[in-house]
Structure 1
Amino acid sequence: MSDKTILVVGTYDTKDEELNYIADVIREQGGAVATMDISVLGDPSAPCDYSKHDVAEAGGSSIQAAIDSGDENTAMQIMAQGSAALALKLYREGVFDGLIVLGGTMGTDAALDLCQALPIGVPKYVVSTVSFSPLIPPERLPADVQMILWAGGLYGLNSICKASLSQAAGAVLGAARAVEKPDFQKPLIGMTSFGKTVLRYMVSLKPALEERGYEVAVFHATGMGGRAFESLAGECAFAAVLDFAPQELGNHIMGSTISAGPDRMTNAGASGTPQMVSIGCYDLVDFIGWQDVPPKLAGQEVHAHNRLLSSVMMTPDQRREMAQAMCTQLAGAKGPVNLILPLEGGNEWDRPGGPLHDADGLSAFIDEIRAHCPDNVTLIELDSHINDAEFSDRVLAEFDAWVTAGVVTT
């Protein structure tokens, strides 16, 4: 008896030998395998459990349509859409417990859509010739995907690529056996923040909300954390969100590659999830420390956080742009939005006497928020700093009022 089943996906017309090797390793370790073919032109050496025809039809198309397109990009997008739809259906039916996809650039392009379709907690592994490459934009990476470089495996099996393939096969089976999936028995609150040296509200808010019967997940707003947050918000996973660290939006509009995507601060609103928003680190733009400063920030003072991450402090004009962007993103929200605006600053370093204090910049940002705050957003101004107790106390008071009014469920 096999305890877990792994769905093995790839273009079986060109990667048949490698995909079958992965399947054999999984079976040797006591797992079971289901196979899915996302190729277009050729056929596997033996029939797959889910054929290329099944995949194309699941996406509302056909293999013939993919062929007739005469374009490999169009054809693979048909297969990407179909594999995502079919995999989600199969997972919901309990057909498999974990997923592994093999590919070069073509297969990886499809793999990202497929993995994105599956919820957090489903083990999903991508074995790719472009793993960890800048070819892959952050917004296309699923929140909990695992990747391994398919070294030396462009054409045919060898001892180098077997090392990667066998590791991935064992990893996905082990993950399927060990994973403790979210059970959502308690209503979940999603919160964004940075570390305690710069933002501290979660230290008091998390236990206070847990005492009220909620589970609290705090997301590190450094690109991928915000991507995971937005993904879950779009799936209506949260009873409410406390999106207090919007810096990824500033990163995005200022040209940093540390971005959670253009839809940052929109998915909770689109799903109608109640949200409280604030300004944690709104005034900083993070960028990759070993790369050049984004052109839009050239000539501004740089603070190196570590060898991976550096920050630039926004000018007053850039803060106005940030304020307008926040208001634009929140304007489409279908659920209630409270924008809590601490008038004395948004991170520990910007207090008077601190290394990043800029009274004119803060004033410019506040004025712009006041001028552009959309009608669907309740603006709450506080004569305090975001790290003061007054901020957390007001958040809890507003949250309790939402619970009493039935806006947030218990």
Structure 2
Amino acid sequence: MEDKRRILVIGTGDTKADELLFMRERIEAVGGVAVMMDVSVLGDPPYRPAHDKHAVAQAADTTIAAIVASGDENSAMTLMALGASRLARALYDQGEIDGFIGLGGTMGTDLALDVALALPLGVPKFVVSTIAYSHLLPPERIATDLMMILWAGGLYGLNSACKAVLSQASGAVVGAARAVVKPDQARPRIGMSSLGKSCLHYMVTLKPELEKRGYEVIVFHTTGMGGWALEAIAAQRGFVAVMDFSLQELANHLTGSVVSSGADRLENAGRQGIPQIVAPGAVDMVDFPTWQAVPTRFIERPYHAHNRLLASVTSDGETRREIARAIGEKLAAATGPTAFILPAGGIQQWDQDGEPLHEPDALTAFVDEMRLSVPANAELHEISGHINDAAFSAKALEIFDRWVAEGIVPRGAPAGRQAG
């Protein structure tokens, strides 16, 4: 049993017994162990789960009878989701499971997403859902390392299409549990936001410099889900410091773009008191799907199609002032050390003289408003150059090194403790 990976299988056994038992069979066929958790409310499964619905209800500090009497199916499944999440986390903390797979339509998916969020980064999480990849799933409900597959043919009963999906998912979660290399805790972790090197490339300099100092640098691609992952890990105090230098997801949210990381972008590090150095990289751009029409508000603005998925426009000077004020409000709520670097010479590669998004008046409007908006609790460091200039990276390292010397940020791990 020592080399077998134990997979927590969650679903409503009263209505999905055939599918869940098929998944158990496939997990065991590839050398895993299925640990069944039943989240039924009204009925009972035709098998004995390791963790029944009464245990799930108890984990939510209630009973099945009280859940049935709670009012409607939404409130009932919300309570079951709370119990399943708590119980799953307890099982993981006690070393009793190595991965998780959930199954469902909208009800089961709603519950499974909460369970996935309760488990830390590095625990394989797989959701088989009739709404996988759907617009119904907001970014804040998706765990950092969640895997999903569309449950084709999964409305009612087993069929060949359904079996093909369920067998893939079952094998995938067992394989992930065997292959996973969990996050290394030897070096203190720094979270950094950025875009591709063609737009923002300070990480090319900063990452090796910070690694020399004994830190692990985790760079997040700020195209919606990347910023959400950064915020999620910060909310769990997963970083000793954050260098949040790419903020266009914040601009996206404020202007109504779907390429958003949620309303709490640029808030969680500050809320947790994590030292943060912030800069307004690419905050002048608003992203939207290339396959949709340009939003009416931006139809006259400069436009760039990055690929067939993602396109961008630039915001005008007044919108940039609104964004600057929003950044200031979020920084004002921080409870930890905060510094803001303001590159007056530009904030993304294509806003420079001779580039297609060069709009000096709009940039000036942003810079002027940003000077006024940085709150008293944050250090303001203005440089005359561009965010991609060497001077920007040098300023970030100067602030960081000072904070380390002052004990604000813990020192990096000695070379002997670093992962190979």
Give the match for residue 79 of structure 1: 80
| 1:255 and 1:294 in contact (8 A); partners too | no
Query: How many Å separate the matches in 2 of 1:261 and 1:397?
Result: 31
Alignment of 1:93-108 (within 5 A): 93-108=94-109
Deviation at 1:19, TM superposition (A): 0.6
| Letter of the structure 2 residue corresponding to residue 238 of structure 1 | F
Deviation at 1:116, TM superposition (A): 0.9
Query: How many Å separate the matches in 2 of 1:100 and 1:34?
Result: 10
Partner SS, residue 281 of structure 2? coil
Give the match for residue 92 of structure 2: 91
Give the match for residue 145 of structure 1: 146
Give the match for residue 247 of structure 2: 246
| Letter of the structure 1 residue corresponding to residue 289 of structure 2 | I
Partner SS, residue 379 of structure 1? strand
Report which stretch shifted further, 290-299 or 117-126: 290-299
Query: How many Å separate the matches in 2 of 1:216 and 1:409?
Result: 14
| Letter of the structure 1 residue corresponding to residue 79 of structure 2 | I
Partner SS, residue 208 of structure 1? helix
Give the match for residue 273 of structure 2: 272
Alignment of 1:7-406 (within 5 A): 7-406=8-407
| 1:255 and 1:296 in contact (8 A); partners too | no
| 2:281 and 2:348 in contact (8 A); partners too | yes
| 1:5 and 1:32 in contact (8 A); partners too | yes
Report which stretch shifted further, 183-192 or 60-69: 60-69
Query: How many Å separate the matches in 2 of 1:60 and 1:375?
Result: 44
Query: How many Å separate the matches in 2 of 1:214 and 1:183?
Result: 11
Deviation at 1:62, TM superposition (A): 2.2
Deviation at 1:298, TM superposition (A): 4.1
Partner SS, residue 279 of structure 1? strand
Query: How many Å separate the matches in 2 of 1:309 and 1:146?
Result: 22
Q: Measured at CA, do residues 121 and 404 of structure 1 come closer, stay the same or move farther in structure 2, by a change above 3 Å?
A: same
Query: How many Å separate the matches in 2 of 1:10 and 1:294?
Result: 40
| Letter of the structure 2 residue corresponding to residue 189 of structure 1 | I
Query: How many Å separate the matches in 2 of 1:373 and 1:21?
Result: 57
- Report the count of equivalent residues: 410
Query: How many Å separate the matches in 2 of 1:218 and 1:147?
Result: 23
| 1:234 and 1:268 in contact (8 A); partners too | yes
| Per-residue CA distance 1:198-219 (angstroms, 9 max, x = gap) | 1110011000000011111110
| Letter of the structure 1 residue corresponding to residue 240 of structure 2 | A
Deviation at 1:295, TM superposition (A): 4.6
| 1:254 and 1:294 in contact (8 A); partners too | no
| 1:5 and 1:33 in contact (8 A); partners too | yes
Query: How many Å separate the matches in 2 of 1:64 and 1:259?
Result: 40
Query: How many Å separate the matches in 2 of 1:84 and 1:296?
Result: 41
| Letter of the structure 1 residue corresponding to residue 323 of structure 2 | M
Query: How many Å separate the matches in 2 of 1:8 and 1:107?
Result: 12
Query: How many Å separate the matches in 2 of 1:154 and 1:145?
Result: 22
| Letter of the structure 2 residue corresponding to residue 150 of structure 1 | W
Query: How many Å separate the matches in 1 of 2:63 and 2:300?
Result: 53
| Letter of the structure 1 residue corresponding to residue 162 of structure 2 | C
| Per-residue CA distance 1:103-132 (angstroms, 9 max, x = gap) | 001000111111011111110000001111
| Letter of the structure 2 residue corresponding to residue 82 of structure 1 | G
Deviation at 1:294, TM superposition (A): 3.5
| Per-residue CA distance 1:1-48 (angstroms, 9 max, x = gap) | 352100000111111110111011111111111111111111011221
| Letter of the structure 2 residue corresponding to residue 311 of structure 1 | S
Question: Where does structure 1 differ by over 6 angstroms across 4 or more consecutive aligned residues?
Answer: none
Over aligned residues, Cα RMSD in angstroms?
1.1
Query: How many Å separate the matches in 2 of 1:267 and 1:49?
Result: 36
Deviation at 1:60, TM superposition (A): 2.3
Partner SS, residue 246 of structure 2? coil
Query: How many Å separate the matches in 1 of 2:337 and 2:97?
Result: 38
| Per-residue CA distance 1:262-291 (angstroms, 9 max, x = gap) | 111011011111000001101000111112
> Which runs of 5 or more structure 2 residues have no equivalent in the other structure?
412-420
Partner SS, residue 401 of structure 1? helix
| Letter of the structure 2 residue corresponding to residue 161 of structure 1 | C
Q: Measured at CA, do residues 133 and 382 of structure 1 come closer, stay the same or move farther in structure 2, by a change above 3 Å?
A: same
Query: How many Å separate the matches in 2 of 1:360 and 1:407?
Result: 38
Deviation at 1:292, TM superposition (A): 2.5
| 2:302 and 2:357 in contact (8 A); partners too | no
TM-score (norm 2): 0.96
Partner SS, residue 200 of structure 2? coil
| 1:254 and 1:296 in contact (8 A); partners too | no
Q: Does 1:409 align with 2:410?
A: yes
| 1:194 and 1:245 in contact (8 A); partners too | yes
TM-score (norm 1): 0.98
